[in-house]
Amino acid sequence: MDKELMIAIIVIACTIGWLVNNWIRAKHGYPLEDEWGGKSERIDSGETKQLRAENQELRTLLTKVDRRMQVLERIVTDKGYTVAEEIEALRRNDDRDTDSGVPLDNRSRENV
């Protein structure tokens, strides 16, 4: 009885291992194994093909958006942009502080 029980336990353990292995493979899209060690490829459904096409379109769009983002980052970090910000800051400071700076003497201008 001991030998038969051990053989049954080994057969059950191997079967459970094979089932778990195939379940993991199916879950992650790997080809499945049959009882004789052969592999069977997964047949893609129409929905899977549609999802793959949509993923490809989204990857293409993401690449375009990434390129645009790089251009915008380059524009923002460009020296000309910081100069424009400094000029605006000076204009705002001028509006707030009217007493600072050298007063203009319009009467002492040269007549042309």
Q: What is the pLDDT of residues 4-32, one digit of tens each?
A: 899 999 999 999 998 898 888 888 877 77
SS3 letters across 37-85: CCEECCCCCHHHHHHHHHHHHHHHHHHHHHHHHHHHHHHHCCHHHHHHH
Is the pLDDT confidence value at 101 over 60?
A: no
Is the Cβ–Cβ distance between 31 and 21 less than 8 Å? Answer: no
pLDDT the model gives residue 62 = 96
Which of 71 and 58 is assigned the larger pLDDT?
A: 58
